[in-house]
Amino acid sequence: MEFVHQTLPQRVRFAPGQAAAGVAAEVAELDGRRVMLIASDREAEDAARIAADVPVVVSHHEVAMHVPVPVAERAREVARQHRADVVLTIGGGSATGLGKAVALTSGLPVVAVPTTYAGSEATDVWGMTEDGTKTTGVDARVLPRSVVYDAGLTLSLPVDLTVASTLNALAHSVDALWAPRADPINAALALEGARGLVSALPAVADEPEAMPGREGLLYGAYLAAVAFTSAGSGLHHKICHVLGGRFDLPHAPTHAVVLPHVLALNAPFAPDAERRLADVFDADTAVAGLEALRRRVRAPGALRDLGLRESDIPDAAEAILPVVPASNPAPVGRDELERLLHDAWEGTDPR
């Protein structure tokens, strides 16, 4: 074995039913006295309850998918005007992403409280969108200093969004197996994360109020995100970032649709990773296992259902081609990208 692995510094607090106490403890750990609370309008009431015991000087609710640059700039100005010393984000990946945008230019510490399985809270990756282009980067300043996981906060997430968000998390595990900085430690985290997600998702789909299943999803999503942020962004995420930024497709459902097609493309060229993923799914092949799970939980199946037009495919392939990672197991050119995108658009069975 010869590799270099970097572990990112972050406090993680699993606190079932104790989000408010956990947030208060983490803000106190940072000596926070002027907290900027970021949460969408939909999350505002719960966010106020969770943040009741911390010194919030401003609550900011302008949260948008893919973090448009003007939205980020307005949030940064709010933080500056109120002299915030800690940013507290409560919500899904969009809320976390906006907190990261503030941290990127201010250096303010972020405390993240996820209410979905997006995994952004465990990464040092930021992303913002301008003029139809989503730009991403890596910066230590955006890694939340601490994360408070309370599975009870995910109970209000509808089953269809739970499924899509979980498959987004699973994509972190899959990408980590062949991303630019893939290594054995990342693989171990990715596969354990995938195992947690795969075992918990059917239980949650059947019984959305079942706390053990929700806790299993958060555990799996965290491990998957840690593996992903260490390994880097693979082909799957490059594709989804282009689709999201350029065509404003919904984040988690897009990941859920694209994942099986990227896996089907790469699996024949990465036999060891494929075999280990197949074991996670307890299936003959990883592609068959993923497809069986997707059908079991009624996952979204086609990009055309999410708003992508067939005529958009050549433009999408053109934008993706320059960012295809050199580490991708399968050779990828324009033809392969257009074929993959068309299959995903149509909802073709990846098997």
pLDDT in tens, 323-346: 999 999 999 999 999 999 999 999
CA atoms within 13 A on the CB side of 137: 11
- Distance in angstroms (rounded) separating the CA atoms of residues 235 and 178: 9
Instruction: Determine the pLDDT at residue 6.
Output: 82
- Distance in angstroms (rounded) separating the CA atoms of residues 302 and 305: 6
What single DSSP character describes residue 7? P
Local confidence band at 133 (pLDDT 50, 70, 90 cut-offs) = confident
Which of 289, 171, 287 has the alpha carbon at shortest distance from 231? 171
Domains of the chain as residue ranges with CATH: 11-154 (3.40.50.1970), 159-346 (1.20.1090.10)
Question: Span 194-208, mean pLDDT?
Answer: 96
Instruction: For 242, list phi and psi in degrees, rounded to 5.
Output: -65, -45
Residue 168's CB is within 10 A of a number of other CB atoms, namely: 27
pLDDT of residue 3 exceeding 90, the answer is no
Instruction: For 146, list phi and psi in degrees, rounded to 5.
Output: -150, 155
List the Cα angle 107/47/169 in 5-degree steps.
70
| Residue bearing tokens 């009624």 | 298
In contact, 147 and 14? CB cutoff 8 Å: no
Which of 178, 161, 203 has the alpha carbon at shortest distance from 277? 178
Using one digit for the tens of pLDDT, what is the confidence trace for 13-50? 999 999 999 999 999 999 999 999 999 999 999 999 99
Q: Which residues pair with 148 in a beta bridge?
A: 13
Tokens read off for 15: 């606190």
Q: How many residues does the chain have?
A: 351
Instruction: Determine the pLDDT at residue 26.
Output: 98
- Distance in angstroms (rounded) separating the CA atoms of residues 40 and 90: 8
The maximal CA–CA distance of the chain, rounded, in angstroms, is 57
